[in-house]
Amino acid sequence: MDVLFNEFEDMLKQSARSTLEVESPPSLVREAEASTLGYSPDLWKKIADLGWLGLALPESAGGQGLGLSSLGIVACELGRAVAPVPFHSTMTAALTIAESGSDAQRSLILPRVVSGQSILTWALTEADPRYLTPDAVQMQAMVEGGDLVLNGTKLFVENVESAEQILVVCRTTPGKTGAAGISVVLVPTKAVGPKATPLTNIAKEKLSRVEFTNVRVPRTNVVGTEGAGWPVVEGMVNRAAALISIQMSGAARRALEYAVEYAKGREAFGRPIGAFQSIAHTLADTLIWIDGCDLIAYEALWRLERGLPAAVQVSQAKAFCSEKVVQAVRNANVVHGGIAATAELDLQLWFRRASAWATRLGTPSEHRARVAHAVLDRA
């Protein structure tokens, strides 16, 4: 039992942090938010060159074959910098292809991910946003000979304009409900041209409604087993939820640091506001929460990495991080006072982005329902 970083993990964290302090200043985030692409291609290339995109991908694809806890350390630091890169959506899809894809899919896609040439995304949620609820997936993919023909609408799809492939969750067996008949299908964006409409959001990240009208892909694009894809979805979403949890936690810790610096320098009634207990205690609580976020998120990542049962730990992490991170970045705002409501202050980048991330991949009460089932219901 050792919940702290080992020497390698410490080194990885330090190296990611110092790189991003130089390469991903707040001005870069502002530029990316104002750009058509929504991310920084330069930064994306740099992190690919540093090997971060291949950290948890197999060596056969040019990756380093390390586990999710190492990838989590990088995700935490990217969150800390609110780095404008399509890391989370790419990793969510890439890890799923690595885990459940065919050899052909892996060798076609993963080396391009490792080198930074290929951005990926995934499309699960439709109008019914309930987390990991098979019936909420209504999108159809009809079998026509050797092809699948997709029709339907997906919401909240990230980075679809820059992505090369979308991992789409759909129904390939007509008439089936629940988890039966679900498939996960790779859809190349450029080749088939699904229609994307931007969803304007508080993070100013690239988020879209994607309409699929008679989008045709070969059946060999199914990731995992056709019609039995629900376990693939669960694996994908567990990893994605654990990664977004640690990414949020990283952002919250930086927001806390901004607030601490401000509380040391800003004076009221002749002394720094951090000397007032109302401020000091607010920030102390925030530190406790963020430490808790790190611990509970790394536990989930580590268990996923080791192949241990982890669904409950993922839900614990996501429920806790979603609530505490939102409260933490709000506390950072409140300590700053009115200036935090202005676009001038860099802190707003952390507030907007971390708060948006918290809404993804299941609400706290949905995750708590899964935890409650595990602790209260006898098998």
Partner 1 sequence: MEFTFTTEEEAFRQEVRTFIAEHVTPEVIAEQGGDEESGADHPHTDAMIDKMMERGWVRMAMPKEYGGHGGDLTMQYIVDEEFNRAGVFIAHNYGTGYTTIIKYGTEQQKRDFVPGLIAGKIKLGLGYTEPSGGTDLAGLKSRAVRDGDDWIINGSKMYGGSPESTHMYMLVRTNPDVPKHKGLSVFLVPMDAPGVEFRPLKLIKDRARAYGYTGAWAGSSFYEDVRLPQSAMLGEEGQGWELATQGLAIDRIGVTRYLRCTYRTDHMIDWLRDHQLGDYVPREDPFVRDKIAELWIEREVYRLMTMRSLTMVKKNIPIVHESPSEKVWGPDHNVRAIEAIASILGPYMQLTEGEEAPRGGEFGDHFLMAWFVGLGHGSVHAMRDQIARRGLGLPRG
List of residues contacting partner 1 (CB under 8 A): 1-6, 9, 69, 260, 263-264, 271-272, 274-277, 279-281, 283-285, 287-288, 291-292, 295-296, 298-299, 302-303, 306, 308, 316, 319-320, 365, 367-373, 375-378
How far apart are alpha carbons 54 and 72 in whole angstroms?
A: 13
- Report the first-to-last Cα separation within the chain, whole angstroms: 28
Cβ-based neighbours of 98, under 8 Å, separated by 6 or more = 56, 57, 58, 61, 63, 106, 110
The answer to whether the beta carbons of residues 120 and 164 sit under 8 Å apart is yes
Distances (CA, A) of 321 to 68, 134, 180: 18, 24, 31
Residue 22 vs 379, nearer CB to partner 1 = 379
The answer to whether the beta carbons of residues 54 and 74 sit under 8 Å apart is no
Q: Which two tokens stand for residue 2?
A: 């050792």
Residue holding tokens 């970083």? 5
Minimum Å gap between C-beta 327 and partner 1 is: 14
Residue holding tokens 């994908």? 236
Minimum Å gap between C-beta 113 and partner 1 is: 25
Residue 96 vs 363, nearer CB to partner 1 = 363
Q: What is the CA radius of gyration of the chain?
A: 21
Minimum Å gap between C-beta 281 and partner 1 is: 4
Pairing of strands 140-144, 120-123: unpaired
Residue 191 vs 284, nearer CB to partner 1 = 284
Minimum Å gap between C-beta 370 and partner 1 is: 8
Residue 36 vs 277, nearer CB to partner 1 = 277
Residue 171 three-state SS: strand
Residue 22 vs 375, nearer CB to partner 1 = 375
Residue 61 vs 314, nearer CB to partner 1 = 314
Pairing of strands 222-223, 267-268: unpaired
Residue 343 vs 375, nearer CB to partner 1 = 375
How far apart are alpha carbons 369 and 194 in whole angstroms?
A: 35
Minimum Å gap between C-beta 295 and partner 1 is: 4
Task: Determine the residue type at 74.
Answer: V
Minimum Å gap between C-beta 362 and partner 1 is: 13
Minimum Å gap between C-beta 350 and partner 1 is: 17
Burial 14-47 (b: 16+ CB within 10 A, else e): eebeebbeebbeeebbbebbeeeebbbeebbebb
Q: How many of the other CB atoms lie within 10 Å of CB of 110?
A: 25
Residue 26 vs 276, nearer CB to partner 1 = 276
Minimum Å gap between C-beta 76 and partner 1 is: 12
Minimum Å gap between C-beta 152 and partner 1 is: 30
Residue 161 vs 285, nearer CB to partner 1 = 285
Helix axes 311-336, 347-358, angle to 10 degrees: 150
How far apart are alpha carbons 120 and 105 in whole angstroms?
A: 13
